[in-house]
Chain A
Amino acid sequence: MSMVAIAVLALLALCLICGAILGFAAVRFRVEGDPIAEQINALLPQTQCGQCGYPGCKPYAEAIAGGDKINKCPPGGESTIQALADLLDVEPEPLDAVEGEVPPRVAYIREAECIGCTKCIQACPVDAIVGAAKQMHTVIVSECTGCDLCVEPCPVDCIDMIELGSNLQSWKWDQPLAPGQLIASDREQAA
């Protein structure tokens, strides 16, 4: 009987000590993430396309928290810039697209030439390409963000980026430029 009591007590003590150590460690070694970077990251579209010049959305969020511009995210567009401006309490800026307004584009796979290597599927950050190994692939137009990332890995160069022509639903007036407000390429020429 006393053996059982000793065993129970010993295990209990062991568990209490272990619990105390872990509890202490959880408080003492807590890792503080940058809370602002986390909030910025939550607003970014998480396509991990890299068009901002950073290797993904999280690094760009950290860069913004460190003082980078908020207008480098083409997939996010105006709404993301507006949300970031609200969060950080700065003026929203127009999208910093190098060739001015890029018309919306989607990837198109020439299916006759596709060899079914799945490399573009792995590259696609938004899972907009369907297909299987040795079967031809195709792009889901409504999911594609036009980020270009699938063009590079294709070994047979059968992916084109085609412009989505405007139709009755998507056509809109060109936005007038405010005086003195230049797009990126003009700024480069002016500089």
Chain B
Amino acid sequence: MTELALIMVSAILVNNFVLVQFLGLCPFMGVSKKVETAIGLSLATTFVLTLAAMCSYLLQQYVLKPLDLEFLRTISFILVIAVVVQFTEMVVNKTSPLLYRVLGIFLPLITTNCIVLGVALLNANKSEFTFITATANGFAAGLGFSLVLVLFAAMRERIAIADVPRSFQGAAIGMITAGLMSLAFMGFTGLIKL
């Protein structure tokens, strides 16, 4: 149990995938103009990351390792994650139109993002991970992404109405804000050791 808690804290704060490991920066900068859309994307990302961690772990343990084909990780992870997400999207579309309306357009957007592949590959590199811990790591990566994305979107909503000097308007001030947030998250370094 403590191990799970440590993994969660590590993935959410200390080794935050966006601000410390710099994965998934594209949706972080791109979909952070409004808090509402940021929340939608956060939900979709958390969902996809958990799913990706699960199926990539199974693939790694039961297909790639026994066949000694670990060099095929990248391509087979992408394939399986894309298929599983697509499949889930169809099922959700059929069974729950409301959930589909919330997640719908974000699912295919996030599926092939580097943060998804990053979680899968980093999990595969850690030989001590079990199915449970791998899934927890994926879920926590999603929570960490959600945390910083929603915080960042809220800041950008305020910055949008602030009097920013002309040469810093738009993407420039967004980058600076992201950098400052990243600096702040560096403060968590050394909080726990895994």
**Which residues of A line the B interface, CB within 8 A?**
3, 6-7, 10-11, 14-15, 18, 21-22, 25-26, 29-31
Contact of B80 among A18, A26, A31 (CB under 8 A): A18
Within 8 A of A (CB), among B57-104: 63, 67-69, 71-72, 75-76, 79-80, 83, 86-87, 90-91, 93-94
Number of interface residues, chain B, beta carbon within 8 A? 17
- Could you say which residues of chain A place their CB within 8 Å of the CB of B90? 25-26, 29
Mostly, the A contact residues are: helix
- Could you say which residues of chain A place their CB within 8 Å of the CB of B80? 14, 18
Nearest-Cβ distance from residue B82 to partner chain A, whole angstroms:
8
Nearest-Cβ distance from residue A126 to partner chain B, whole angstroms:
24
Across the interface, do A6 and B69 meet the contact criterion of CB distance under 8 Å?
A: yes
In the bound complex, CA of A11 to CA of B72 (Å): 8
In the bound complex, CA of A151 to CA of B63 (Å): 63
One digit per residue, 1 when the CB lies within 8 angstroms of any chain A CB and 0 when it does not, for chain B 132-156 equals: 0000000000000000000000000
Tell me how many residue pairs across A and B have CB atoms closer than 8 Å.
39
Mostly, the B contact residues are: helix
Closest to B86 in A: A22
26 A-B residue contacts at CB 8 Å? A6-B67, A6-B69, A7-B69, A7-B72, A10-B63, A10-B67, A10-B69, A10-B72, A11-B72, A11-B75, A11-B76, A14-B63, A14-B76, A14-B79, A14-B80, A18-B79, A18-B80, A18-B83, A22-B83, A22-B86, A22-B87, A29-B91, A29-B94, A30-B94, A31-B93, A31-B94
Nearest-Cβ distance from residue B77 to partner chain A, whole angstroms:
11
Across the interface, do B75 and A21 meet the contact criterion of CB distance under 8 Å?
A: no
**Which residues of B line the A interface, CB within 8 A?**
63, 67-69, 71-72, 75-76, 79-80, 83, 86-87, 90-91, 93-94
In the bound complex, CA of A11 to CA of B78 (Å): 12
Across the interface, do B93 and A21 meet the contact criterion of CB distance under 8 Å?
A: no
In the bound complex, CA of A18 to CA of B78 (Å): 12
Across the interface, do B93 and A29 meet the contact criterion of CB distance under 8 Å?
A: yes
In the bound complex, CA of A3 to CA of B79 (Å): 21
- Could you say which residues of chain A place their CB within 8 Å of the CB of B67? 6, 10
In the bound complex, CA of A71 to CA of B11 (Å): 58
In the bound complex, CA of A18 to CA of B71 (Å): 20
In the bound complex, CA of A18 to CA of B90 (Å): 14
Closest to A30 in B: B94
5 tightest A-B contacts by CB? A18-B83, A29-B94, A29-B90, A25-B90, A25-B87
